[in-house]
Amino acid sequence: MKRVIILLLIFSSVYGYSAPVKGKVLGVENSVKSILPGANIYWAGTNLGTIANKDGEYKIESIQNNNMLVFSFVGFKTDTIKWSGEEVIDAVLDKNTEIEEVTVVQKNKGAYISQINPIYTTHINGAELHKAACCNLSESFVTNPSVDVSYSDAITGAKQIKLLGLDGTYSQLQTENFPNLRGLATNYGLTYIPGPWLESIQVSKGAASVVNGYESITGQINANFKKPDAIEAFHFNLFGSAEGKSEINSNFSVKLSEKTSTAFFVHGENFQNRVDHNMDGFLDEPLMKQIHLFNQWKFYDGKGFMVHSGFHYLNEDRTGGQTAFRKDMERTILNPYGVNVGNERFEAYVKAGYDLNVKNSLAFISNVTNHKMNSYYGLNNYSGDEFTLYGNLIHTLWIDQLGVHTLNSGISMVYNKTDEMLNQSNINITEVVPGVFSEYTFKPNPKITAMAGIRSDFHNTFGTFLTPRVHLRYSLTDHLNLRVSAGKGYRAPRIVAENSFLLANYRPLKFAENEILEKAWNYGISLNQEIHLFERPLNLGAEYFRTDFENQLVVDRESSADFILLAPLDGKSYANSYQLEMRYELLPRLDILAAWRINDVKQTIGNQLVRKPLSGKYKGLFTVNYSDRLKKWMFDYTVQFNGGGRLPVVAGSPANSPTEFPAFTNMNAQITKYFRYWNLYAGAENLLDYVQDHPVLGTDRPFGNEFDATRIWGPVMGRKFYAGIRITLNHKSN
Amino acid sequence: MKNFIRLIIVGFGLLLFISSAEAQNKESDLVTVCFKSSMDCHNCEITLNNYLKFEKGVKDLKVDLASNTIKVVYKSGKNTPENIAKGIKKKGYEANSISEDEYKKLLEAATTKQK
């Protein structure tokens, strides 16, 4: 501090000298304000600046001929405020979610853990997204220790994620901070979000904020698309794999005026090669076509009113099954076995925000979706038509200027009508759920953030239920954060839609009720420390999460050889997840990440508390990222150690049937070469070429009673080489 | 176990590559040029950095907004100070050539202030 003053004194002779300016620097993240210790404050275009102290306070001498004061802090938008002689200027910086983060001069941390958010949140930005071929959201998690991605069956290519060892359905999937891709889209939702369209992803574990509904149980995954007013003007990506899969992604933005901008996004993918490496007569990967169009609009009047809207159209077709199957064949047991899934989806959303005054702001989010699905799995027919209308109105009240007390409250509405037809039976569900919520955040000082939220929802079938959630962040030392959370979550699953891949087996699905309400509590504790070792940041994390189900939809594929039973939980069901994580820049520009997680997931199936089948006991992850001095080259290497687990054993199976699946290792590597306006990348997935033996059981009689393509625990596709190009042109700055 | 051995091999390969990449930059036929510029925003720093690093022969680069300086190290014969300056001007910023000593002073002054 002394040095600053001395320096200012030296410079003051050059620039002149008058009264000092002082104030506080705050940041807003998820509409919660927090102090930004260490923020930079300087006069625009000069070297004259200072740094905010641990309470976010600063004091700077004013200078002649300059009245523009610049406030900046890593991860937040830089703000320039005009000074016209006031004694106090407080700055509030918005969270930076712009593409800007991707291109910062220093080596960019692709993923980081928020230091101030009370909810344990990992931010994944564009730099991290470049590390994997990253065709869609499901592949974006390859380098993330918290999220597991696996195939749900051997035929449709559908992928599912697991968070805290539990199925992805228990974590709420959001786009642009509102719930999305539920119901009919559950199984393929991840593949509906193209990686090259993404600006950032946030993964938060444990109880989430109550603002976005009651559905999240194990956490939230939010994907943010690139914004039309960001620096990137044009992006083009072309991807091809050695197997013959091709993908194209492009987006461009137009600034229509100072206030209005729009962006167009295109995604197309095509795969028509019949590949059967394991020679089991079944395609390793389904033939597929997808087209996805997206148009986004953003309006900001510069005075606190913002509107952001978008329109999506998606159409896809997947065909899998036996290599000899053709779509025009009559579906009888005399012809080859085939699976076809067609999806058509339309979505429109609007988000509007208005700052009423310094203390009050309003936000309104709404989206409307129509999803049509037509599919068959061998002789099983399944189709669905879903209409969803969602609305959420949030009022934020900053009770005091400095963000010590913040209150978020509002009302929400979900209307969902789903008409499904499974073979000859109709399933018609209408959900109408109005809700109210309130969430209070208390930040007495930079060391503590406490958040308590409650919501009440009025469900037309299940009545009124309460969702309480609490979070606490406490800094034990400057860089050691302790987080504790507890909260309840509910979910009304679409029983068939979410398990439709199970139709690729010989047993019919049996369920007594069309609608059930899953209920669970989640508790978590985590410690996160950031220290500097040899002048480079070292981040250490330890966490424990427990999920306790009061009610759950249990998939029982073991009790009977005649059917798969989908029934409410009768007994206990829980998941414990223990994780250790370390991120370190081992050598200059060489980042490593090592993580280990133990999953202890148990469920009562057929009156017995057993390990959840097809779920690995542990997961290890090690990633290395190296870039050269000027970041013209980047090398990535990822290895995952997946623990073995229990196989579902059908009642009446021969005594020597395997009951466990083995541990396996998966490796990926990629090289990226950057040029001024474009970059090339090439890599390989599943380098060790490890594939599960017999992903499809009973291949010789696919319509017989041994056929099962859903007993999947490992990779079903072998080593895959790919290459691609990305071209990026930016808007001229200023 | 087999996987573990492969892991070690890959790791060693990577280390070898890195050390050779680092060694490359220690060659003696490098030219250093320094400039005082006129950047006024964080984005300017990014723009210049991304532009200059792909100029011919550039081996090292430091664009600093706080001190408003640019330092470029390039392989001799591959580029000229005039051409680098032209590149900076093309992006709309001043490029006043300064000596390495002046550069160090400016940089030091700006970094002390930050502490």
A198-207 pLDDT per residue, tens: 988 888 899 9
Query: What's the structural domain count of chain B?
Result: 1
A48 CB within 8 Å of a chain B CB: yes
Q: Residue B115: its pLDDT value, please? A: 42
Rounded average pLDDT over A659-665: 95
Rounded average pLDDT over A579-607: 94
Q: CA angle at residue A477 from A472 to A480, to 5 degrees?
A: 65
For residue B59, being part of any structural domain is answered with: yes
Spell out the residues 6+ positions from residue A400 whose beta carbon is closer than 8 angstroms to its own: none
For residue B89, being part of any structural domain is answered with: yes
Report whether pLDDT(B10) > 80.
Answer: no
Q: CA angle at residue A461 from A455 to A464, to 5 degrees?
A: 30
Report whether pLDDT(A508) > 80.
Answer: yes
A421-469, pLDDT tens digit by residue? 999 999 999 999 999 999 999 988 888 999 999 999 999 999 999 999 9
Query: Is residue A250 located within the same domain as residue A326?
Result: yes
Q: Residue B26: its pLDDT value, please? A: 53
Spell out the residues 6+ positions from residue A82 whose beta carbon is closer than 8 angstroms to its own: A67, A68, A69
Cα separation, B84 vs A260, in Å, equals: 36
Q: Which residues of A touch B79 (CB under 8 A)?
A: none
For residue A302, being part of any structural domain is answered with: yes
For residue B67, being part of any structural domain is answered with: yes
CA B49 to chain A, closest CA, distance in angstroms equals 7
CB of A71 within 8 A of CB of A91?
yes
Query: Is residue A78 located within the same domain as residue A122?
Result: no
For residue B4, being part of any structural domain is answered with: no
CB of A375 within 8 A of CB of A327?
no
| Interchain pair B67, A78: CB under 8 A | no
| Model-level ipTM above the cut of 0.85 | no
What is the pLDDT of chain A when averaged over all its residues? 88
In this prediction, residue A98 has a pLDDT band, given cuts at 50, 70 and 90, of very low
B26 CB within 8 Å of a chain A CB: no
A299-353, pLDDT tens digit by residue? 988 777 889 999 999 999 999 999 999 999 999 999 999 999 999 999 999 999 9
**Helix/strand/coil for A184:** helix
For residue A445, being part of any structural domain is answered with: yes
Q: Which residues of B touch A632 (CB under 8 A)?
A: 53-54
Q: Give which of A251, A285, A246 is closest to A268, Cα–Cα.
A: A246
Q: Residue A107: its pLDDT value, please? A: 38
For residue A102, being part of any structural domain is answered with: no
**Helix/strand/coil for A45:** coil
* Domain final position from A42, A69, A94: A94
- Which domain covers residue A74, as residue numbers? 8-94
Q: Give which of A500, A508, A504 is closest to A695, Cα–Cα.
A: A504
* Domain final position from A94, A128, A160: A94
Mean pLDDT check: name the lowest of A323-327, A683-687, B39-43. Answer: B39-43
Q: Which of A629, A640, A730 to mutate against chain B (most B CBs within 10 Å)?
A: A629
Cα separation, A217 vs A518, in Å, equals: 10
For residue B68, being part of any structural domain is answered with: yes
Torsion angles phi and psi, residue A211, rounded to 5? -60, -35
In the DSSP assignment, the letter for residue A226 is P
| Beta-carbon-side half-sphere exposure of residue A303 (alpha carbons within 13 Å) | 3
* Domain final position from A94, A127, A161: A94
Cα separation, A81 vs A68, in Å, equals: 6
- List the beta strands (DSSP E) in A126-193: 147-151, 159-163, 166-167, 171-175, 178-179
Cα separation, B113 vs B67, in Å, equals: 10
Out of A100, A676, A734, closest to residue B54 by CB: A676
Torsion angles phi and psi, residue A12, rounded to 5? -60, -30
Q: Which two tokens stand for residue A58?
A: 């600063």
Q: Give which of A235, A111, A631, A200 is closest to B49, Cα–Cα.
A: A631
Q: Residue B6: its pLDDT value, please? A: 66
Spell out the residues 6+ positions from residue B83 whose beta carbon is closer than 8 angstroms to its own: B55, B56
Query: What's the structural domain count of chain A?
Result: 2
Q: Domain containing B94 — which CATH number?
A: 3.30.70.100
| Interchain pair B114, A51: CB under 8 A | yes
Give the number of residues written for chain A: 734
Report whether pLDDT(A727) > 80.
Answer: yes
How do the residues of chain A divide into helix, strand and coil, expressed in percent and rounded to 5? 5, 55, 35
